[in-house]
Amino acid sequence: MICSCEEDDVKSHFTDINKHLPIQEGHWKLEQFQDHVVAKTDTAATTITLKLKSRWETILYKTAESCEVSVTHAIGCYACTTGATAEIWCKSERADTTANVECSENEVFA
């Protein structure tokens, strides 16, 4: 999805509380907290490093699960401050199945 947007000044959303809050800006939600604007997101990444002093055995467990996938059309404009949103539901026969979403080079997934 490629589009352009006239309004691309994200900084103004952080500095001008007179904007209508809360505002959903892509995967960020901007809210007013006292006299400040705060950004919240449900998406985050972290790295955990463990140093173990004992040996253990690992097993690679791979299956080819059948998944049922439902997708909504993207709404909005990814190049704008509001972003674009699409919802993806994936249901498999196993509760502990992990899936990957792959995008083409012109798309970003968060």
The type of residue at 57 is: E
The reported pLDDT for the residue numbered 36 is 81
Question: Which segments in the chain show pLDDT lower than 70?
Answer: 1-8, 10, 13-14, 16-20, 78-79, 95-96, 98-110
The reported pLDDT for the residue numbered 83 is 73
The reported pLDDT for the residue numbered 104 is 64
Domain definitions of the chain by residue range: 10-42+62-92
Q: Are strands 36-40 and 83-85 parallel, antiparallel or unpaired?
A: unpaired
Q: Note the pTM of the prediction, 2 decimals.
A: 0.33
* CA–CA gap between residue 47 and residue 51 (Å, rounded): 13
The reported pLDDT for the residue numbered 5 is 61
